[in-house]
Amino acid sequence: MSKKNSRLSAKPKKVVVERFWETKSLNEMSRTEWESLCDGCAKCCLNKFIDDDSTTDETELMPTTHIAEGEQMSYSNIACHLLNDKTCQCSKYEQRTVLVPDCVQLTQENLDDVFFMPPSCTYRRLKEGRGMPSWHPLLHNGKKSAMHQAGMSVRGKIIKDNDVELDDFEGYIVLWPLNDID
Ligand code: SF4
Ligand code: SF4
């Protein structure tokens, strides 16, 4: 008599995701749905700089949540020191707002701030009516490999903010965070 090894013969399960982002607005989504939209690219953990004429030597590198009309925001490849540069996940997610006070979490309540996010951010794409990107982990059984392969995450491109002098930020300004595909 032979014994069937069900573990070895089992086929990998394909997870079927309900495409709730096509039927609900961002404000109609449940908390779980909202959080699952985050693609985990970690571009929002990059330091950004605003070309602000009214800045002084004292305020030059202070955090801000305000951008005036006509001012331009530039991305750098300097990431928050708490970011895990391989997984692109926050290494202290639960304590992040205490450890990094200017870490801003996008919620349904502050959705108007979505323009601070990069063009490829899924929240921004959906808010602007551009739909879910083909590389999103929700469309790949929760895996991030398609996103990394498409070059849409920060993996392999960053330096940590505790390894650089922020005064020298101009040397770290980059354009790749502005890239978006499909
Ligand atoms: S940029 Fe948007 S989608 Fe990407 S990790 Fe940040 S919040 Fe999530
Ligand atoms: S505290 Fe975590 S989530 Fe916030 S910017 Fe840093 S790495 Fe990103």
d(CA 153, CA 181): 12
Q: Where are the domains of the chain?
A: 20-51+73-178
d(CA 10, CA 45): 39
Structural contact between residues 46 and 77, judged by C-beta atoms closer than 8 angstroms = yes
Q: Which of 15 and 117 is assigned the larger pLDDT?
A: 117
Strand partners, 123: none
Question: Could you tell me if the CB of 161 is within 6 A of ligand 1?
Answer: no
Structural contact between residues 132 and 122, judged by C-beta atoms closer than 8 angstroms = yes
Confidence of residue 6 (pLDDT cuts 50, 70, 90): very low
Ligand at minimal distance from the CA of 34 is 1
Report pLDDT digits (tens) over 52-77.
Answer: 766 666 655 666 666 666 778 999 99
Q: Which of 89 and 115 is assigned the larger pLDDT?
A: 89
Token pair 């970690």 is found at: 42
Q: What is the overall mean pLDDT for the chain?
A: 87
Nearest ligand 2 atom to the CA of 92 is: 2
Residue 164 has pLDDT above 80, yes or no: yes
Tell me the two tokens of residue 74: 């530039």
Structural contact between residues 143 and 137, judged by C-beta atoms closer than 8 angstroms = yes
Structural contact between residues 92 and 84, judged by C-beta atoms closer than 8 angstroms = no
Residue 50 has pLDDT above 50, yes or no: yes
Confidence of residue 133 (pLDDT cuts 50, 70, 90): very high
pLDDT for res 113: 83
Q: How far is the CA of 43 from the centre of ligand 1 (A)?
A: 6
> Which of 117, 153, 157, 158, when mutated, tests ligand 1's pocket best, judged by the most ligand atoms within 8 Å of its CB?
117
Helix or strand holding residue 99 (H, E) = helix 96-99
Report pLDDT digits (tens) over 85-110.
Answer: 999 999 999 999 999 998 988 999 99
pLDDT for res 72: 85
First-last CA distance in the chain? 55
pLDDT for res 5: 42
Average pLDDT over residues 142-151: 97
Query: Ligand 2: which residue has its CA nearest to atom 1?
Result: 96
pLDDT for res 4: 43
Question: Could you tell me if the CB of 153 is within 6 A of ligand 1?
Answer: no
Query: Ligand 2: which residue has its CA nearest to atom 8?
Result: 45
pLDDT for res 7: 45
